[in-house]
């Protein structure tokens, strides 16, 4: 597995698309996180508190 540093796109074999994607570049990763946060924003604004409070189990194991 190649390690991705701060700059540059990850090396990728252009002929063969890997079954499992390698790491995206940092800027791409930040963009994806922003997109995900945009998607989930409504859930976080609306029902966060009741969801968190409602998460009560008994001890396990």
Partner 1 sequence: MSGVIGLETEYGVVAQGLTAEEAARELFLPVVGWGRSTNVFTPAGARLYLDVGSHPEYATPECSVLDELMAAERAGDRLMAALAAAASRRTGTAIALIKNNTDSAGHGFGCHENYQVARAGSAALAAKLIPFLVTRQIVAGAGKIQVDPAGARYLLSQRAHHTTEALSSATTRARPMINTRDEPHANGELYRRLHVIVGDSNMSTAASRFKIGSMALLLRARRSGAELPDLELANPVHAIREVAHGWRTAHPIELADGRSIKPADIQWRYLAAAESTARTAEDQTVLSLWRRTLTAWDRADFDGLETELDWLAKWRLLERYRERTGAGLADPRVLRLELAYHQLGAQGELREKLEAGGNLTGGIGRNEAAKAVTTPPATTRAHLRGRFISRARAAGREYTADWVRLRLGQGEAVALMDPFDNANLAAQALITELEAAPPAGTASELDAIFAEAGRE
| Residue ranges in contact with partner 1 by CB under 8 A | 1, 3-6, 10, 19-24, 26, 28-30, 32-34, 36-37, 40, 43-45, 47-61
DSSP 3: P
Cβ proximity to partner 1: between 8 and 15 the closer is 8
- How far apart CA 19 and CA 5 sit, in angstroms, is 22
Choose between 15 and 61: whose C-beta lies nearer to partner 1. 61
Residue 15 CB, nearest approach to partner 1 (Å) = 18
Q: What is the dihedral of CA 15, 20, 26, 27, to 10 degrees?
A: 70
């Amino acid at each position: 597995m190649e390690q991705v540093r701060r700059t540059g796109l990850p090396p990728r074999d252009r002929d063969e698309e890997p079954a499992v994607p390698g790491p995206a570049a940092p800027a791409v990763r930040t963009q994806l996180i922003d997109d995900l946060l945009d998607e989930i924003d409504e859930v976080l604004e609306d029902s966060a508190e009741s969801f968190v409070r409602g998460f009560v189990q008994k001890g396990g194991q």
